[in-house]
């Protein structure tokens, strides 16, 4: 847009300069020619005379048709228009425009008019036109520079904001290039907003972590006390409930640590094929128990990551796929490479989920309508999402018809 604006304004500036030059030159030539024609008509009206009149600003010179032009004419003469010449007259150092008039007796007369003053005005108008073009082009250049500055700074803000959304790193701040312009002021305000958001998110996570830490200890003590009770049905139910609550708190703490990116120190080169083979082998007995056909099509691909977290993430996905697939169903795990991306897909033949729930299943404690009756905490997919984001990846949910297809890109 800045380039198009520059081209259009430049064309307008050139058109303006051309119009000024064309109009001024045309007016100058027309005025001069009219004055010369008036003098020629005046001479014709006088008739044949040996002595021509003397008028201020006018010049009449007899020319011998066989003799050469005077030196001052031959040395400084130039053409103004068709039939009009311009020259400097040495006797008064003025500039004249002239036409050559041939009388009825074949006498050639140079009829001139003083254009010194109007010539200066014409040159002034020409310089004014050039100055106008230069001024407009200067404005165009300044507008282009400002446009590039605005676009560059705006893109910097957008890129940084996109990085913050993609990485979840709220400690990032926008670069403040200058403080005198509106963009600089907006950047400062946005940095203050990010600082406030980071503070609030830290407070929320800290409260969540504190609750989990504070409650996990008495719950662990309570579970130990339950184990000392005599064997009974109620004892087993109490132990199950205590384990469920402890697992929920442990999952919350683990998700918080992952989202805070405290576990990147565990990153190392890993072979994804071997890792996913282990996940599939771990869940093979559960799939066999439900008569589910579990297949794994895996390419030999390696990347840098946290093996334990990736194992847990894909274990959660495979566990859900088997859990929600009917007896005799199918579950497929694939690992492929596309350009520079690593695609890991888990697809099942289960009940699937509604379109309006696909964007919610990765929220903490969210459980879809079709799975509320099953055992779980609603944190498994939240952990998966946190692990994938920690590895700079994305996760999408699609229909498998029947069932669900979850695609992760690392």
Nearest C-alpha neighbor of 113 from the set 42, 25, 24:
42
Boundaries of every domain in the chain: 2-124, 182-259, 264-409
From 3.40.50.300, 3.30.2140.20, 3.30.70.360, 3.30.565.10, which CATH number describes the 264-409 domain? 3.30.565.10
pLDDT at 74: 64
Q: Which two tokens stand for residue 317?
A: 């996905």
Average pLDDT, the chain: 79
Task: Give one word for 262, left, alpha or beta, with left for phi > 0 and alpha for psi -120 to 50.
Answer: alpha
Residue 13 and residue 125: Cα distance in Å, rounded? 16
What are 164-212's pLDDT values in tens digits?
Answer: 777 667 777 878 777 777 878 888 888 888 888 878 777 766 766 666 6
Q: Tell which CATH architecture fits domain 182-259.
A: Orthogonal Bundle (1.10)
The CA-based diameter of the chain, rounded to the nearest angstrom, is: 152
**Given this model, what pLDDT does residue 99 score?**
85
Pairing status of strand 341-348 against strand 404-409? antiparallel
Structure confidence at residue 119 as a pLDDT band (50, 70, 90): confident
Per-residue model confidence (pLDDT) at position 372: 47
**Model's pTM, two decimal places?**
0.50
Question: Environment class of residue 342 by beta-carbon count within 10 Å: exposed (0-12), middle (13-18) or buried (19+)?
Answer: buried
Task: Check residues 407 and 339 and name the one with the higher pLDDT.
Answer: 407
The tens digit of pLDDT for each residue in 73-95 reads: 666 677 777 888 888 887 788 88
* Beta partners for residue 297, in sequence order: 334
Exposed, middle or buried, 196 (CB in 10 Å: 0-12/13-18/19+)? exposed
Percent of the chain residues topping a pLDDT of 90: 14
Instruction: Report the range of poorest mean pLDDT among 127-136, 208-217, 232-241.
Output: 208-217
- The pLDDT tens digits of the residues spanning 329-387 come to 999 999 999 888 899 999 998 888 877 787 778 777 666 655 544 555 667 788 888 88
163 φψ region: left (φ > 0), alpha (ψ -120 to 50), beta (else): alpha
Q: How many CB atoms lie within 10 A of CB 263?
A: 16
pLDDT tens per residue across span 201-234? 777 667 666 666 666 677 777 778 778 777 776 7
């Amino acid at each position: 847009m800045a380039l198009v604006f520059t081209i259009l304004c430049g064309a307008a500036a050139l058109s303006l300069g051309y119009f000024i030059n064309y109009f001024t030159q045309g007016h100058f030539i027309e005025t001069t020619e009219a004055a010369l024609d008036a003098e020629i008509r005046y001479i014709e009206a006088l008739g044949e005379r040996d002595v021509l009149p003397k008028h201020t600003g006018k010049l009449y010179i007899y020319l011998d048709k066989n003799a050469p032009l005077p030196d001052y004419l031959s040395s400084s003469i130039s053409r103004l228009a068709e039939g009009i010449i311009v020259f400097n007259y040495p006797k008064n150092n003025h500039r004249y425009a002239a036409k050559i008039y041939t009388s009825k007796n074949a006498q050639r007369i140079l009829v001139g008019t003083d254009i010194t003053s109007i010539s200066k005005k014409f040159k002034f108008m020409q310089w004014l036109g050039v100055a106008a073009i230069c001024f407009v082009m200067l404005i165009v250049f300044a507008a282009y520079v400002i446009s590039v500055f605005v676009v560059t700074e705006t893109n910097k803000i957008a890129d940084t904001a996109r990085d913050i959304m993609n990485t979840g790193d709220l400690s990032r701040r926008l670069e403040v290039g200058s403080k005198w312009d509106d963009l600089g002021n907006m950047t400062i305000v946005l940095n203050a907003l990010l600082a406030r958001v980071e503070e609030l998110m830290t407070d929320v996570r800290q409260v969540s972590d504190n609750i989990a830490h504070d409650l996990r200890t008495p719950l662990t003590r309570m579970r130990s006390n339950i184990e000392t009770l005599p064997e009974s049905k109620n004892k087993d139910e109490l132990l199950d409930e205590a384990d469920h609550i402890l697992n929920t708190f442990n999952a919350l703490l683990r998700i918080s640590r992952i989202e805070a990116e405290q576990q990147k120190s565990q990153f190392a080169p890993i072979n994804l094929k071997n890792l996913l083979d282990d996940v599939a082998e771990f869940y093979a007995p559960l799939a066999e128990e439900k008569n589910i056909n579990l297949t794994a099509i895996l390419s030999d691909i390696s990347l840098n990551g946290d093996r334990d977290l990736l194992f847990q993430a894909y274990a959660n996905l495979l566990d859900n796929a088997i859990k929600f697939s009917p007896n005799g169903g199918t579950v497929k795990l694939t690992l492929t490479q596309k350009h520079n991306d690593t695609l890991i897909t888990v697809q099942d033949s289960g009940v699937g989920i509604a379109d309006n729930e696909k964007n919610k299943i990765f929220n903490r404690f969210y459980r879809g309508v079709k799975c509320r009756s099953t055992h779980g905490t609603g944190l498994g997919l939240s952990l998966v999402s946190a692990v994938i984001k920690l590895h700079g990846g994305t996760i999408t949910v699609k229909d498998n018809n029947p069932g669900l297809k979850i695609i992760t890109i690392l």
